[in-house]
Structures are given as structure tokens and as C-alpha cells.
Amino acid sequence: MARVLLGVSGGIAAYKALELVRLATAAGHVVRVVQTETSLSFVGAASFAALTGAPVLTDELERDPARGAFPDQAPPEHDPLSHLELVRNADVYLVAPATANTIAKLAHGLADNLLTSAALAARCPVVVAPAMNDGMWAHAATVANVATLRARGVTVLEPGVGRLASKGEEGAGRLPEPGELLAAVEAVLPAASGGPMDGLRVLVSAGGTREPIDAVRYVGNRSSGRMGFALADEAAARGARVTVVAANVALARNPRVEVVEVETAAELQVACEARFDGCDVLLMAAAVADFRPARVADGKLKKDVVGDELAVAMERTPDVLAGLGARRRPGQTLVGFAAETGDEAVAYGRRKLAAKRLDAVVVNDVARPGAGFDVPTNEVTIVTAGGERHVALTSKGEVAAAVLDTVAELRAVASAEARP
């Protein structure tokens, strides 16, 4: 099963896209459709809506009643931007029919309607199925545009040869038949899916928050974000759709992972809460400040004004993870991280498991050499209700793999228990 986003642009061949939707849904896929204004003159949105069982969008600013969710998904609680959320959920984006005009826009990165802006935001494979008059297909501009798209990794299908829409005309430019379109879509899917976490939505928090004292100073911690980013990379490699809420992380970005930048615990809380309901797995690796300055000074504190001593009153921050644990829904898997020191580390971790309503706590003894903050290695104990798994000192990538193996085991047990 795949989530197929179908972009329909304005050509006579749009009617064939209806048949494609029928074939795709019969094959077990779920489909959402975006149409250009012009395409509505050829096929009405009501036809696509009936076949997909989901609203059809044409306008970028139009509110999506399904809030970017595909028919197999529960809509998130917030109202996301359609062009971003639809492609984030999609496993593949098929533009069929793609007119010469739409192909030109895609090649030049224009985003002047929902179809093109969704293409610009897409990180899933994009398949373009051209349909146009043979002269337009052979035109140097179209040839160059197609070459540009292909060089960028977009799959541009060869149009069929035969009778064209205009009376008496024949040549290359026919939209491939619906069966061929479906085959082309399915051919690109293994690149995006087929992994053990296929289709799962994973939310990761990474890095360390910074709490401002004044306009230039902050209270922070030594977390580099390496552990969180390793988890995100590993989850993406296993086929998950990953979003990282990154607090002050200076590491390279993985193009397959969506990154939301935050600075403070309050910003991290807002970002995580907005995305929590839509995720299947939460990996809370960020080092979130437990305290922040109660008041942020206006401008920069001056030595001669402050005097010899500076006392900064600190207040507690909300426990983001505990808040999310309190509103968790069935089917979600929550993993916390605990930076501890000393012999009691695992016992503290086990207490957090219950207190924050988690499925696992990854405990790392930050006092051990090679473990914890700002180093590429880690040594952890993964604590679950059923036991403990020690991961000896190794790379954070290996630790991430062990954490995700545990998540997979926990989810297999939970789904077996949920069955009647």
C-alpha cells in the first residue's frame, strides 16, 4: 500500500487520470488529488473526490477538510499547510497529465499553484507523465525542461505515440495508459518504502535548548544533537517519515528528514505538541532545560550596572515529554532519554518510564568516558517494562539501531495485544 498524491493539470487526457485513480485504489493504494484550475474544465473535482474518498484541492489557500491526511490516516489536530502536509504524507507524487506548461514550471521551480508548490516541497519520488501535442513535446523548450527534470531525479515518462486529441493528428504526446501509469508509480516505490518502518511517522527531538538570560546570553547544555540525528537518520533509512525538532544543532541535515528549528524549551514544546498527534513513534532525545531564567533582561546586561555579582532567578520549565505521555493515544510508542550519573542510573530511568507514561527509556550514564554529550559514541541501557538491554560503548548510529530495534519489538507486541 502506498499513499499516492496525484497532480492533475489541464489537458484533455485528464479523463485518463480518473481511471488511474480507480486502478490504484483497487490495487490497495490510497490517493489524494490536487488539480490545477484549468484541469477543472476537463474533469470536475467531484469525480476525483468520489473515486478517492477524499477532498480535492486546487487552491493553495483553500482549507483542506482532511488537513493533509490521506484516506488511511487520521487528520492532525492542527491545520497544516496543504502543499507541505500532502507531500509529507505521500509516498510518491505523480503528475498526470503533465502539460507542457506544467512541465516548464516544474523545471524552473515555479510554485504558482498547489500542484507546482507541492512539487517543490516534495521529498518523495516524483513521477511526471507528459501529455501534449507532438509539436509541443518536440519543442526545444520542452526537451530542455524534461532533461532538467530528469537530471534532478524526477521520473519523466515517455509519452505514448498514436492518435492525439486534435482531430486527425498523430504523433508522440499521448498520456501513457492508466495501467502503465500505475506500473510507473509502483516502480519508484521501493526507493521510498519497503523498509521495516515503512510509512511510520517518527518524531524526534534533538539537541539542547538555550534559555535566554538577556539579549546575548543564555543558559544551555552540552548536547550536540548527534544522538537525535542518528535516530532520525536510522529511522529514515528504515523507511519512516521523520521530523526532527532540532534545538541548536550544528550538524549536517539529511535531505530525507524534515527539520524544525527551535531554540528554547518553550519553542520545543510548541513544535513537539503540534506534531505529536500525527506521529506513531516519539523519540525524545533532546536535552530540554529543566529551569530557565524567570525574567529575560531587556537588551544586554552591563557589568557596571549589575555590579560584582549576578544572581539569575530560575523557574521550572514544563516537562514536555510528561505532557505528551499524558495525552498519548493507542498505537503510539514513546521513548524518553535519561542522562544520569552513578549506580542508580537504571533505577532512575525505570522510574521515569512509569512517571512519564513511556514505553522505553534510554539511560546513559553521562559520567562514563565516551558516553553522553558531544561525543560520537555512547553506551546506554534501554529500559522497558519487560526488561533491560545494555548496549556496550559503540557509535551513536549503532545505538540508534538498537533503540529502533526495541521500538519495533515493542510495537509488534502492542499490535498483537490490540488484536481481538
Residues that bind ligand CTP (CB under 6 A): 205, 265, 284, 286, 288, 290, 317, 319-321, 336-339, 352
Are 218 and 243 contacting, i.e. CB atoms less than 8 angstroms apart?
no
The phi and psi torsions of 189 (rounded to 5 degrees) equal: -65, -40
Task: From the candidates 89, 133, 221, 248, give the one annotated as an active-site residue.
Answer: 221
**Residue 58, CA distances (Å) to 96, 115, 180, 189 in order:** 15, 8, 25, 25
Closest distance to ligand CTP from the beta carbon of 265 (Å): 6
Is the CB of 100 or the CB of 271 nearer to ligand CTP? 271
Are 286 and 205 contacting, i.e. CB atoms less than 8 angstroms apart?
yes
Is the CB of 90 or the CB of 339 nearer to ligand CTP? 339
Closest distance to ligand CTP from the beta carbon of 153 (Å): 35
Pairing verdict, β 201-207 and 377-384: unpaired
Closest distance to ligand CTP from the beta carbon of 316 (Å): 8
Pairing verdict, β 291-293 and 314-316: antiparallel
Closest distance to ligand CTP from the beta carbon of 359 (Å): 12
Are 121 and 41 contacting, i.e. CB atoms less than 8 angstroms apart?
no
Here the cell at position 375 is 561525543
Are 379 and 371 contacting, i.e. CB atoms less than 8 angstroms apart?
yes
Is the CB of 27 or the CB of 354 nearer to ligand CTP? 354
* CA dist., res. 405 & res. 366, Å (int): 23
Are 104 and 33 contacting, i.e. CB atoms less than 8 angstroms apart?
no
Strand ranges for 109-163 from DSSP E: 126-130, 155-156, 160-163
Is the CB of 219 or the CB of 301 nearer to ligand CTP? 219
Closest distance to ligand CTP from the beta carbon of 339 (Å): 5
Is the CB of 199 or the CB of 372 nearer to ligand CTP? 372
Is the CB of 193 or the CB of 205 nearer to ligand CTP? 205
Is the CB of 9 or the CB of 205 nearer to ligand CTP? 205
Any catalytic annotation for residue 221?
yes
Buried b (16+ CB within 10 A) or exposed e, 184-215: bbeebbeebbeeebbbbbbbbbbbbbbbbbbe
* CA-derived radius of gyration, the chain: 25
Is the CB of 19 or the CB of 273 nearer to ligand CTP? 273
Number of H helices, E strands in the chain: 14, 19
* CA dist., res. 222 & res. 216, Å (int): 18
Q: Which of 216, 212, 217, 215 is nearest to 294 (CA)?
A: 212
Closest distance to ligand CTP from the beta carbon of 413 (Å): 22
Here the cell at position 321 is 515529554
Closest distance to ligand CTP from the beta carbon of 110 (Å): 41
Q: Which of 50, 52, 79 is nearest to 64 (CA)?
A: 79
* CA dist., res. 196 & res. 239, Å (int): 7
Closest distance to ligand CTP from the beta carbon of 325 (Å): 9
* CA dist., res. 365 & res. 345, Å (int): 6
List, by residue number, the catalytic residues. Answer: 221
